[in-house]
Amino acid sequence: MTWRRTWAVARKEALHIRRDVRSLILALLLPLILLVLFGYALTLDVDRIPAFVYDADQSVESRALVARFQGSQYFSLLGVVENEKALEAKIDRDECLLGIAIPRDYATRLLSGREASVQLLIDGSDSNTASIALGYVDALVQSHAAELQAKAQVRRTGRTVVPPVELRTRIWYNSELKSRNFIVPGLIAVVLMIIAALLTSLTIAREWENGTMEQLLSTPLRPAETALGKLMAFFALGLVDVAVSVMVGVFVFGVPLRGSVLFLFFTSCIFMFGALCWGILLSAVTRSQLLAYQAGLVTSFLPAFLLSGFTFAIENMPPAVQAITYLFPSRYFVGILKGVFLKGVGMEVVGIEVLFLAVYGALVFFLTVRVLRRKLA
- pLDDT surpassing 80 at residue 4: no
Give me the pLDDT at residue 374, please: 67
Higher pLDDT, 163 or 313: 313
Could you give the percent of the chain with pLDDT greater than 70? 91
Give me the pLDDT at residue 355, please: 94
- C-alpha to C-alpha distance for 62 and 252, rounded to whole angstroms: 43
Give me the pLDDT at residue 352, please: 92
Q: Write the pLDDT tens digit of every residue in 140-166.
A: 888 887 777 777 666 666 666 666 777
Decide which of 3.40.930.10, 3.20.20.480, 3.90.226.10, 3.40.1710.10 is the CATH code for 49-157: 3.40.1710.10
Q: Burial of 162 by CB count in 10 Å (0-12 exposed, 13-18 middle, 19+ buried)? A: exposed
CA quadruple 191, 193, 196, 199: dihedral positive or negative?
negative
Amino acid at 153: Q
Give me the pLDDT at residue 271, please: 92
Name every residue whose Cβ is closer than 8 Å to that of residue 319 and which is 6 or more positions away in sequence.
none
Higher pLDDT, 373 or 376: 373
Closest CA to 296 of 375, 227, 194, 228: 194
Find the Cα–Cα–Cα–Cα dihedral 181, 39, 329, 353, rounded to 10°: -10
Q: Write the pLDDT tens digit of every residue in 86-111.
A: 888 888 888 889 999 988 888 888 77
254-266 in b/e burial notation, b at 16+ Cβ within 10 A? ebbbebeeebbee
Q: Write the pLDDT tens digit of every residue in 5-26.
A: 777 777 877 777 777 777 777 7
Tell me if residue 377 falls in helix, strand or coil.
Answer: coil
Give me the pLDDT at residue 162, please: 67
- pLDDT surpassing 80 at residue 273: yes
- pLDDT surpassing 60 at residue 375: no
Higher pLDDT, 313 or 365: 365
Q: Per-residue confidence at 333, pLDDT binned at 50, 70, 90? A: very high
Name every residue whose Cβ is closer than 8 Å to that of residue 177 and which is 6 or more positions away in sequence.
171
- C-alpha to C-alpha distance for 78 and 100, rounded to whole angstroms: 12
Give me the pLDDT at residue 212, please: 66
Give me the pLDDT at residue 218, please: 62
Mean predicted confidence (pLDDT) in 122-148:
83
Q: Write the pLDDT tens digit of every residue in 169-226.
A: 888 887 777 778 888 888 888 888 888 877 777 777 676 666 666 566 666 677 777 7
Higher pLDDT, 38 or 352: 352
> What predicted TM-score, i.e. pTM, was given to this entire model?
0.78
- Look at 109-123, 234-248, 328-342 and tell me which has the smallest mean pLDDT: 109-123
Mean pLDDT of the chain: 82
Q: Per-residue confidence at 34, pLDDT binned at 50, 70, 90? A: confident
Break the chain into its structural domains and give their ranges: 9-43+178-376, 49-157
Mean predicted confidence (pLDDT) in 261-280:
90
